[in-house]
Amino acid sequence: MSEILVIGHKNPDTDAICSAIGYAEFKRRTGLEEAVAARCGDTNDRIDFVLETFGIPAPKFVADVSPKISDVMQRRILSVPPGATAAEALRLMDGKNLRILPVMDAEQKCRGLLSLFKLSKFLFPAVSQGANTREVLSSLDGLAQTLDGQLIVGFDTDREDELILMIGAMGLESFAARLEKFPPEKCCVIVGDRWDIQNIAIREGVRVLIITGGTQAEPKTLEAARKRNVSVITSPHDTATTASLCRAAVAVRHVLNEEFLCFRENAPLAAVRDEATSSGFLVFPVLNGQGQTVGILSKTDFLKTVTRKLILVDHNELSQAVQGADEVEIIEIIDHHRIGALATQQPILFRNEPVGSTCTIVADCFFRNDVELPADIAGLLLAGVVSDTLNLTSPTTTGRDVEILRKLETLSRTNAREFTEKLFASGSLLTLKPAPQAITTDCKEYREDGKNFSVAQIEEVGFDQFWKRKEELLSALEAYRAQRAYHFSSLLVTDVATQSSLLLVAGDEKLVRRIDYPRLEPGIYELREVVSRKKQLLPYLAHCLREAEQGVKG
């Protein structure tokens, strides 16, 4: 499949969502029609407010981009229903050059697999192994269909019977003597234009009379058959061919392999590869969440190349990227954060600029390349800029942000100051979310000197809600740290009105002792004029971490 996902980081914020939508629009307008905006985390109330304001749906959710079974499976399923005859199945397998055929019921559930090998053994059994080649399990409808014949007289034609084949190719007396050895209600007599054989078979009340060679039965013969409840089928084939075809009239549900291995469509290819390739099965039904068969996977499908590619926006570290990002090709990165440890197999476009918002860079792509920027996309990019720069008041703000924001205001016909007020009033995480969800809504993982840690941020208007919930926030932060085995976890709660923050830290005591901001309570610090996680807090925490590891004061 061919797909290029433009995607932000885990626990996406407004800038990540808006830049993904905006950059996907830019790429499509400049020739990359496969570009699709995506997200690997839930939206929040503020993001929803932005999307609703400008009438744009959220990017599609993609939790994992690693190659999946659904990427390589065969979606066009060639199958037969359980009631189909073996002859029908063989025609399909021969026409499509198939060795295995799934048997599907009306609910698209796989009842089993039909193999050419097993069918061949059934249709041409080894006499030396005691197989009874005379027995045929079929309905009369199935027989007529298999023979391309006509059911002239029929009784209970859909009922399946274990029929005994008898060929009327001997003398009348010999045939009559042989017929007496079998229950007539189970006999299927195959005969050409031998009226004497036909009449004795009808007189004895056989289950079905098959007249071969395209011969038409005489009216008096048909009348006698009706009186004796004997069904009559005419076959266009000669007697030998008709007899050989009859065994293929069996319904496939009687000859399928009911044991098979199946997989879910969203299962990673890497997770099932060994199980599939080491199994004795050649193909594997692929199921959706409702157990319906939506595809067929063969062993050769594992050799296919998955052409999904990624464009990362608002991050450049794999620890923050969507799961499976290390298994697919990353072709571009658009970001405004520090450069982390990320290796690519070939050169890529990596645009990393020291501006306040990724949306600033995306908007500049439109302006610099003279690409039309629709009003709704301009509105989204404006929202990303004011969100990440706190409407140009954050220390991360640059002259470029100011310049770009003015253009976006004009194009979107939106006043940035008024919009910012509505944006930060649209949803308080500390009011609306449980503590475990509030501390992870905008949380990023970092790695310094071999230590993994997390830094989350919540932007509020005032600290009233924080002080009401401080204990549960500290408890949730410690639980999150322990669950992820982080060296420490931190939460920056920023008051966008006063441009100051509170810092919560849970974890390594050596690091906690290095924090020299005013401590208000255990684990809670006051950070006046600190509002930026990227430019102010992260460098400070990295400095404290190095001091703690080295055992010296900075």
Model confidence over 112-165: pLDDT tens digits?
999 888 888 777 766 555 456 688 999 999 999 999 999 999 999 999 999 999
Domain boundaries, the chain: 2-67+307-425, 86-254, 429-550
**Cα radius of gyration rounded to whole Å, the chain:** 37
Given pLDDT bands bounded at 50, 70 and 90, which one contains residue 45?
confident
> What pLDDT score was predicted for residue 119?
84
User: In this predicted model, what pLDDT tens digit does every residue of 420-456 receive, in sequence order?
Assistant: 989 987 878 888 889 999 999 889 999 988 899 999 9
What average pLDDT does range 211-226 have in this prediction? 92
Q: Which of 154-163, 291-300, 333-342 has the lowest average pLDDT?
A: 333-342
Count CB neighbours of 486 within 10 A.
19
> CATH number of the domain at 429-550, please?
3.10.310.20
Rounded mean pLDDT of 472-498? 94
Pick the CATH number of 2-67+307-425 from 3.90.1150.10, 3.90.1640.10, 3.40.50.2300, 3.90.550.10: 3.90.1640.10
pLDDT level of residue 551 (50, 70, 90 thresholds): confident
| pLDDT (average), residues 463-491 | 95
- Which residues does 391 contact at the CB level (< 8 Å), separation at least 6? 416, 417, 420
Pairing of strands 307-313, 329-335: parallel
Rounded CA separation 372/28 (Å): 12
User: What are the tokens at 289?
Assistant: 């969440």
> Does 131 or 67 have the greater pLDDT score?
67
**Of 22 and 68, more confident:** 22
Terminal CA-to-CA distance of the chain, rounded, Å?
Answer: 53
Does position 108 have pLDDT exceeding 70, yes or no?
yes
Closest CA to 2 of 331, 307, 269: 307
The answer, yes or no, to whether residue 469 has pLDDT greater than 90, is yes
| Tokens linked to 553 | 């004061």
Angle, in degrees to the nearest 10, between helices 172-179 and 195-203: 20
Joined tokens for residue 469: 């919930």
List, for residues 363-390, the tens digit of each pLDDT value: 999 999 999 999 999 999 999 999 999 8
For β-strands 150-153 and 231-234, DSSP reports them as antiparallel
Over the range 539-550, which residues count as b (16 or more CB within 10 Å of their CB) and which as e?
A: ebbbebbbbbbe
Between CA 129 and CA 132, with CA 131 as vertex, the angle to 5 degrees is 155
pLDDT at 552 over 60: no
Output the six-digit token pair for 197: 């054989």
- Yes or no: is domain 86-254 CATH 3.40.1390.20? yes
Spatial CA neighbour of 383 closest among 33, 61, 60, 43: 43
Within a 13 Å sphere around the CA of 126, how many CA atoms are in the beta-carbon half? 3
What pLDDT is recorded for position 169?
A: 85
Average pLDDT over residues 496-518: 92
> To which residue do tokens 């658009």 refer?
334
Q: Which two tokens stand for residue 369?
A: 């390349």
Q: What is the mean pLDDT of residues 153-180?
A: 92
Please report which confidence band the pLDDT of residue 17 belongs to, taking 50, 70 and 90 as the band edges.
very high
**Residues near 280 by Cβ (< 8 Å), separated by ≥ 6?**
none
**C-alpha span between 523 and 294 (Å, rounded):** 52
- Three-class DSSP category at 308: strand
pLDDT value for 554:
42
Burial class (CB in 10 A: 0-12, 13-18, 19+), 97: exposed
Q: Is the pLDDT of residue 233 over 60?
A: yes
Average pLDDT over residues 185-207: 93
402 vs 3, more confident? 402
pLDDT of res. 1 = 47
pLDDT of 553 > 70? The answer is: no
Share of the chain above pLDDT 70, in %: 97
Average predicted confidence (pLDDT) for the chain: 91
Lowest mean pLDDT among 8-12, 31-35, 133-137: 133-137
Kindly state the DSSP code that residue 506 receives in the 8-state scheme: E
